[in-house]
Structure 1
Amino acid sequence: MTNDESTRFPTIAVYGASGHTGGYILSDLRRRGLTPILVGRNAQRLRAAADAAGLPGAEIRIAAADDRAALVAALTGADVVISSLPGYVDIGEQILAAAIEAGAHYVDISGEQLFTRRAFDEYGPRAEKAGVSVLSGVTDSNLPADLLADLLARRLGPAEFVISHHSRAGGDGSRGSAKTVLASLDWFRAGGWHYADGEFRTGQVDLAPIAHPNATEPTAVAKFAFAAVLTIPRHTDARAVTGAVDEIFRSNITGLTPELVASLPERPGPDSDMRYDTVVDARGADGRTLRGVLSGVDSYRDSGLLAVEAAVRLAAGTAKAGALAPAEAFDAADFLNSLAPHGITWTITNTVGA
C-alpha cells in the first residue's frame, strides 16, 4: 500500500463499538468508506453492532480490557484506535496503554478530567517516545470548547474563560453517561479542577448566571469538571479557565447510585431532544468580551462524529507525537468548519457590553 493510500484509507480500530456512541462511530466510518476493526470482549455484541451499522464484513478481534497482551495484539496494525467506553477511570488506561504499545494513534470520548489528566501526565511521554499522538476527551463539550477558546484567544490575548454546556434534554442521557459520572462521582460533585494563576485548583468558584443561546433568561450554574479546563491553558495565555453546567444538572447527579444507574435505559428516550450548545465566554485583560458557541444536533452522535474526524486527521500523521489538546493537533477553524455537513454550526460574537 502506498503512503497516499494509507492516508486516504486508514485502518481504525474501535474499542467499545457496541455502546450507544460506538454505533454512531461505526456508522460514520462506513459513511467515509472505512471498514474498522471492532475490538472487545463479546464477539456476539460486536458482530451485532457491525451489522447494525452496515458493516457485515468488519473484522472482529477479541480482547478483554484487563488482558494487556491480547489488547496489544488486537490493536496491532491499526493506524488509530478510538476508545468508546463508560467510566474511563476504571478501565480506560489499559486501552490507552495498549494503543501506544501497538504503535497506534489514540482518540477517546472520555468526559473525565481525572482520566484526561493521566493521559497527559503519565501517557504523554510514552506516546511521544513511541511517535504517536494521543487525543483524550473528544466529546461534544470538550473538543469544541478547546477549539473555540483557541480562536477567542487569538483575538483577545490573555483572557479568562468560562466553559458551559447546555442540553435541551436537561440531563436525559444514556446509561453509559451515568456510569461515567458514577465512576468519578465525588470528583464531579466537587466540581473538579479549575485553572487560575498558573495552576490547577480545586474548590468552588463563584459563577454568575449564564444566558444560554435561545434561552429566555439566564440560568444559574455551578462549577463542573470539563476536560477542556485542562487543555485550554496548554495553547492559550489563559488567566483563568472554569467549567460550568446548569445548577439543576449538578444537583441531579449528586444522587446517582449503582442501583439507579443499572435501572437507566441504555439509550436516551426516543422523544429526548438531544440538541445542545457548547459555549465559551472569554474576557480579555482590557475588558473586551467575546463568546464562542458551537450548536449541535445530538450529543452522542456528535461526539462520535468528532472522534472519527479526529482519528482520520491523526492518521494523516501531521500532528506531533505525544498527548495533545485538540488545538495543538488541528487548525481550530478548519476542524470546526468540517462539521457543517452534519448540521453542527459555530459562531463567535461580541457579548453584551463589549
Structure 2
Amino acid sequence: MTIYAVYGATGHTGRLVTTELLSRGKDVVLSGRDSSGLAALGHPRIHVAAADDPDALHALAETADVLINCAGPFAITGQPVAQAAAEAGCHYVDHSVEIHPVRRIYDTLTEQAQRAGITMIPSLSFYGGLGDLLAGAVARAVPDIDRITVAYAVTNWKMTTGAVNTARLLFADTERIGYENGALRTGFVEPRNAVFAFPPPVGPRTVIAPVPFPEPFTIPRHTPVCSVEAQLTARTFEEEQAFTSEHVDSAERAASEFTIAAQVLAANGSASGSLRGRDLWRAGALASVEAAVRIAEGAVKSGVLAPADAFDARDFLRTLADRDAFTLDLPAES
C-alpha cells in the first residue's frame, strides 16, 4: 500500500490534509517536531523530526512514498524536507506561498528528482498553487499571450501562527522575484495600489500589486507569456482578525471567503476565469492531497514541476470543484 507522510501534521493545514487522506482510506504517517503534539493526535503511526535534523527527515522520507509538507514558513522547512525526500526517492508536495523557497527547490533538486524518477511539486496550495492551475486552465483559450494576472480576493482570513510568520517574511522581502518581458527579474519592487475587476458579485476591488506569490516563477514554466503578476485585495490585510486569530478554533478559521481570478491578455484576444468558495485552508488541503494521490497513481512525469505542468489544469480544478472546494468558471477552449 502507498504510504503518505504528512509533515507539520499538528498544524491546521496538516490536520486537514490528514483528515482528507484518511477519508480516502490512505495509509498515513504523521510527522513534525512536536512529539507531545503528535502523540495527542492519537494516530498509530507518528515520526518525530525537526526541520534541522536531516537524519530524522531522511528516515521519515524513507518510510513514505509521498511526503506532503504542511509546515511553514517554508523559508525554514522547504529545502531540508524537500532535500530529504529527494535523497530517499520519495515524491514531494508542499504548501509554500513563498517564491524564494519554491525557486530554490527548482534550482537545487531538479536533476536529482529526474534521476530518482520522483515528482516534486512545491507550492501546491491555495495561494500560488490554485492561481497557477487557474492561469494554466484559462491560458489554453488564448494564443500568443502577452500578460497574465492572477488576483485573489479574500475576506475574513484568519491566519495561523505559521501564516503570520510567513506574512512577516513576505513583507520584509526586498529581493522580489517578478516576470517581465519574458524574463525573471529580481530586486526591490515598490508595491502599488491598483484596481482589479473581479467577476460578480465581488466586482472591482483595490489590490496590492504585485504580491510576492510563486505565480511569476511557476506560470512561465508551462505557459509562454511575456509578463506575470499576482495581486491580492488590500482589504485582506486591513481586516483586524487576520493577524489576531492564531488561536481560534477550526470552525471559525473555516469562515473565509475567496475569489481567485485569472486574466489572460493577448494582442488578438483575451480570456478570464475564476473560482469562488469558502475556507481557503480546506481548498489548499484538498489540492495538495489530490496532487499526492495522482502522483502515487503514477500518472505524473518526474522532476520538479509547477502544478499546471504536472497536471491537466482543467481536469484537476474540475475534480476539486466536484469535491466542493469551490465553484469554477472557465472559458471555452480555442
TM normalised by structure 1 equals 0.85
Mapped contact 2:258–2:276 kept (Cα < 8 A):
yes
Corresponding position of 1:74: 60
* Structure 1 contact 15–39 (Cα < 8 Å) conserved: yes
User: SS state of the match for residue 123, structure 1?
Assistant: helix
Contact 2:121/2:307, CA 8 A, preserved across alignment: yes
CA distance in 1, matches of 2:12, 2:52: 22
Report the TM-score, using the length of structure 2 for normalisation: 0.89
1:43 deviates by 2.5
- Segments of structure 1 that go 5 or more residues without pairing to the other structure are 1-8, 254-259
8 A Cα contact 2:6 2:30, kept in partner: yes
Specify whether residues 155 and 294 from structure 1 end up closer, same or farther in structure 2 by C-alpha distance, changes over 3 A only.
same
- Give the deviation of 1:340 after TM superposition: 2.4
Partner of 1:305: 286
- Is it true that 1:10 corresponds to 2:2 in the alignment? yes
CA contact (8 A) 2:215 2:229 kept: no
Contact 1:173 1:268 in 2 (8 A): no
Q: Quote the residue 1:274 is aligned against.
A: 256
Give the equivalent residue in structure 1 for 2:31: 39
| Residue 337 of structure 1: aligned partner | 318
1:86 aligns with 2:72: yes
Cα 1:131–1:235, aligned 2, differ >3 Å: closer, same or farther? same
Provide, for residues 294-340 of structure 1, a one-character-per-residue CA deviation record: whole Å limited to 9, x for no partner.
22321111111111111111112222211101111111111111112
Q: State the partner residue of 2:179.
A: 195
- Rate the CA distance shift 1:43–1:161 in 2: closer, same or farther, 3 A: same
What is the CA-CA distance between 1:226 and the residue it aligns to? 1.5
Question: 1: CA distance between counterparts of 2:278 and 2:227?
Answer: 29
Task: Give the Å deviation of 1:347.
Answer: 0.9
Amino acid at match of 1:133: T
Cα offset, 1:151, TM superposition? 2.4
Asked whether 1:162 is paired with 2:144, we answer no
Determine what percentage of the aligned residue pairs are the same residue.
32
Q: Displacement, 1:147? A: 1.9
Cα deviation for residue 348 of structure 1 reads 2.0
Write the distance in 1 (CA, Å) between the matches of 2:58 and 2:129: 27
Partner of 2:328: 346
Alpha-carbon displacement from aligned partner over 1:258-310 (angstroms, at most 9, x marks no partner): xx97x752347855631211111111121x22111122321111111111111
Q: Mark the CA change 1:86 to 1:268 in structure 2 (over 3 Å): closer, same or farther.
A: farther
Alignment of 1:60-71 (within 5 A): 60-71=46-57
Alpha-carbon offset, residue 213 of structure 1: 3.3
Q: Which amino acid counterpart does residue 30 of structure 2 have in structure 1?
A: L
Cα pair 1:84 1:108 within 8 Å, conserved: yes
Q: Deviations over 1:186-241 (max 9, x none)?
A: 22xx5932211121224247674112234465112121111122111011111110
Secondary structure of 1:312's match? helix
- Whether contact under 8 Å (1:176, 1:266) holds in the other structure is no
Give the unaligned 5+ runs of structure 2. Answer: none
Contact preservation (8 Å) 2:9, 2:30: yes
CA separation of 1:173 and 1:62: change in aligned 2, threshold 3 A: closer
Aligned to 1:210: 196
Q: CA deviation at 1:168?
A: 2.3
> Quick check: 1:140–1:278 contact (8 Å CA) kept in 2?
no
Cα RMSD (Å): 2.4
Q: Distance in 1 between matches of 2:252 and 2:282?
A: 15
Moved more, 29-38 or 124-133: 124-133
Within-5 A mapping of 1:64-213: 64-159=50-145, 160-169=147-156, 171-187=157-173, 192-201=176-185, 202=187, 203-204=189-190, 208-213=194-199
Query: CA–CA distance in 2 between the matches of 1:292 and 1:10?
Result: 35
1:47 partner letter: A
Residue aligned with 2:205, SS:
coil
C-alpha distance in 2 between matches for 1:216 and 1:153:
22
CA gap of 1:165–1:191, structure 2 versus 1, over 3 A, is farther
- Which residue identity does 1:281 align to in structure 2? Q
